[in-house]
Structure 1
Amino acid sequence: MSIVKLSAGLCIGGSILLSSYIQAEQFHLPILQYHHVGEETPFSTSVTPAQFREHLEFLENDGYQVIDLSSGIKKLRNGEGLPDKAVAITFDDAYKNIYEKGFPILKEKSFPFTVFINTDPVLHKNRNFLTWDEMREMQQYGAVMANHTMSHPYMMRHNEEESFSAWFARIKQEVLEVESLLVETLGSSPKMLAYPYGESNELIRSFLEELDIVGFGQQSGVVSSDSDFSNLPRFPASGAYAKLSTLKTKLSSVPMPLTKVDTGGDFAGEEPVSMTLSFKEGQYRTKEFTCYVSGQGKADINWLTEQKVSITAKKAFSYGRGRINCTMPVKKSTNYHWFSNVWVKPRAEEGYVVEKSEKY
């Protein structure tokens, strides 16, 4: 078991500073995703202040180590271990209530966190969004501001009459402008981006990789050194997913031990989606491997070999985003391996870029 040194510069108080050296026992990272902290904000993207406090007190009392997301990701990419029970906290969008309702609790607990900011409402001084001064204050207590694009667009969609090259130039500008603002206004960029609505395609992900920017989607799962760092998973912790009972299961989950994932692409069509997962060599509880399709129940599962499985939805997705979540109990444990994938079924009028060409 490896030993790592944690410096005070990486941690803003909390139990991981009890010793200069701790044993690194975890090589994966669950990441919690929030949006609003409020009682009158949209249910699907909100936790109440009481729920948020309940989540953080559980983390504190159950021995979880809340770590800085950027530092944790860098360690995993380098094959280094994290503190046992490490977890990271993130927010999407630069909502004012993060500062007003969430930040006081985070500061009380000395928990670091990341806010993915879309900068247009900040620059226009929208009263429902954070100000630069509020962000600077939060930075002093462990907050990191990261990229969520300028205008929060559907990145995979072109505008009316927009060519392929014009669409891609606009998307690149959405990313690059925020990177510049983070450095110029807040002092630095962690080079992390959360895709608005969790949507990205191969071209966008390749662009981020060229810039050495880590990308985050909205599919659920646990990050490890084997993950695709252009499209990392997070666990939603708001709305219907805010119940502490279900959150506990996700927090204790570990990555699905995979060597290859074939999803058939980013888009769903008129046929049921299907994906194939290839497992690392090992003994697993494959008889208890289960997958659920959003809005459909259990998926059809076909083991092609002892290490390869095909998962197929029972029927085609409706328009919009659909997902398949797969779990499998960890051998000799009550925890679960977890993997999820999201597809988009586009309407023609929505203008999704479905091919790498000037034609749509």
Structure 2
Amino acid sequence: MLSKRYCGIVLGALGVSMAGQAQDYLPVLQYHHVSASSPKSTSVTPEQFTEHMDYLKNAGFQVVDLRSALDDLKAHKPLPEKSVAISFDDAYRSIYQAGFPIMKERNFPFTVFINTEPVERHSRSFLTWEQMKEMEASGGVFANHTIRHPYMLRKEKGETDQDWLARMTHEVDTVEQLLNKHLGHSPKMLAYPYGESNRQIRDMMKDRGIMAFGQQSGVVSAESDFENLPRFPASGAYATLSTLKTKLNAKPMPLLSEETGGDFATDQPVSIRLTFKEGKYRLKDMACYVAGQGKASLNWVSKTEVVATANKPFGVGRGRINCTMPDNSGKHYYWYSNVWIRSSADQGYVSEKS
């Protein structure tokens, strides 16, 4: 398996050299179920998934191994032009039954983030270790999605902060041990359940050399936070081909800095302060959208600095602001997203300062 992956990297590098073109960012697609009978909000039908994969192939996209591409980006090494990575969350058996044959036929590598509790109890709705081994032989990689898929920032009743952190450490380390036990290795990647993390959790990832993904949308670049990476959802409402094309043409927002106010929202509207790098950008064409609210108000405090503010506070749950801006060619959009958690007292979230 590793030799095939390395061969793919070498061939990709040769392709970059021959074409004289390269890419310094990576869109990562996120799927869950590949099924017509599972919840629509987290599913693509086999027909939709085939349409997506056919588009990638016919439009000349280079589907790359996720961990190898992340390593290259972090090391400032170029990726092949039109690189993209494919990922799945939750280890549903429909990935093996309906998704895997489609990717195998096209020779596409992919990553599945697995929560191991249903795998270990042999749930018929989830993958088996034997199926994972079979998928590994054709480009599949299996990574960490914790044991039980918890809200990682919520404490159980009566739990201290120390107890909570110990439980989260167990959730992460146990899956790493199971990956090594059953598959012989771990790619050292994790997807946060529900996309939720804080500085303590992200520091845990960094200490273990684990690259981790949230649920904010956008593309990965060398300047990304490799303990809180973005992906593009490609299921449910985001499964249309037109939506997919827009995301595949996204670039990282050219930011010098960002200020979000932390991981938690309050009873006041959230705001973000974005400072742009020097360059010629279509700043007047930038727009920011607040989940469930429409456009955010933009206050340009200088020629290269803007504050985007939501119109009203978020309700309890997760809220986000997405900002996009066309590039000078008009063919691509710069993309930025941030997610906040608005908690309620009965949910048991850890302190916002944790």
Band of TM-score, shorter chain: over 0.9
Aligned counterpart in structure 1 of residue 122 of structure 2, from 111, 125, 141: 125
Deviations 1:158-184 (A, max 9, x none): 000000000000001100111111111
CA shift for structure 1 position 24: 5.0
Aligned counterpart in structure 2 of residue 346 of structure 1, from 308, 320, 343: 343
State the match for 2:30 in structure 1.
Answer: 33
Does 2:300 align with 1:303? yes
For 1:100, the aligned partner's letter is: Q
Does 2:276 align with 1:276? no
Does 2:233 align with 1:236? yes
State the match for 2:177 in structure 1.
Answer: 180
For 1:332, the aligned partner's letter is: S
CA gap 1:17/1:79 in 2 versus in 1, 3 angstroms: closer
For 1:79, the aligned partner's letter is: H
For 1:87, the aligned partner's letter is: V
CA gap 1:13/1:37 in 2 versus in 1, 3 angstroms: farther
Does 2:136 align with 1:134? no
Does 2:286 align with 1:289? yes
The answer to whether the 8 Å contact 1:325/1:341 transfers is: yes
CA shift for structure 1 position 333: 3.0
Q: What is the DSSP-based 3-state SS (H/G/I as helix, E as strand, rest coil) of the residue aligned with 1:25?
A: coil
- Alignment partners' CA distance in 2, 1:155 and 1:325: 23
Does 2:69 align with 1:68? no
- Alignment partners' CA distance in 1, 2:157 and 2:275: 40
Q: What is the DSSP-based 3-state SS (H/G/I as helix, E as strand, rest coil) of the residue aligned with 2:279?
A: coil
- Alignment partners' CA distance in 1, 2:315 and 2:16: 52
- Alignment partners' CA distance in 2, 1:177 and 1:256: 36
State the match for 1:161 in structure 2.
Answer: 158
Aligned counterpart in structure 1 of residue 318 of structure 2, from 312, 316, 321: 321
CA gap 1:239/1:13 in 2 versus in 1, 3 angstroms: farther
State the match for 1:48 in structure 2.
Answer: 45
CA gap 1:153/1:237 in 2 versus in 1, 3 angstroms: same
Q: CA RMSD in A?
A: 1.9
State the match for 1:3 in structure 2.
Answer: none
For 1:253, the aligned partner's letter is: A
For 1:177, the aligned partner's letter is: T
- Alignment partners' CA distance in 2, 1:138 and 1:328: 38
Deviations 1:132-169 (A, max 9, x none): 00000000000000000011000010000000000000
- Alignment partners' CA distance in 1, 2:57 and 2:10: 12
Does 2:192 align with 1:225? no
Deviations 1:249-284 (A, max 9, x none): 110110001121110011111000011111111111
The answer to whether the 8 Å contact 1:218/1:233 transfers is: yes
CA gap 1:157/1:237 in 2 versus in 1, 3 angstroms: same
The answer to whether the 8 Å contact 1:285/1:329 transfers is: yes
- Counterpart mapping for 1:328-339 below 5 A: 328-339=325-336
Q: Could you tell me the percent identity over the aligned residues?
A: 57
Unmatched 5+ residue regions in structure 1? Answer: 1-5
For 1:112, the aligned partner's letter is: P
- Alignment partners' CA distance in 1, 2:280 and 2:13: 33
TM-score by length of 2: 0.96
CA gap 1:125/1:12 in 2 versus in 1, 3 angstroms: farther
Does 2:263 align with 1:266? yes
Unmatched 5+ residue regions in structure 2? Answer: none
Higher helix share: 2
- Alignment partners' CA distance in 2, 1:224 and 1:73: 8
CA gap 1:315/1:224 in 2 versus in 1, 3 angstroms: same
The answer to whether the 8 Å contact 1:322/1:342 transfers is: yes
Does 2:197 align with 1:200? yes
The answer to whether the 8 Å contact 1:253/1:338 transfers is: yes
Q: What is the DSSP-based 3-state SS (H/G/I as helix, E as strand, rest coil) of the residue aligned with 1:301?
A: strand
- Alignment partners' CA distance in 2, 1:274 and 1:30: 25
Aligned length: 352
State the match for 2:90 in structure 1.
Answer: 93
The answer to whether the 8 Å contact 1:30/1:86 transfers is: yes
- Alignment partners' CA distance in 2, 1:8 and 1:323: 35
- Alignment partners' CA distance in 1, 2:302 and 2:353: 34
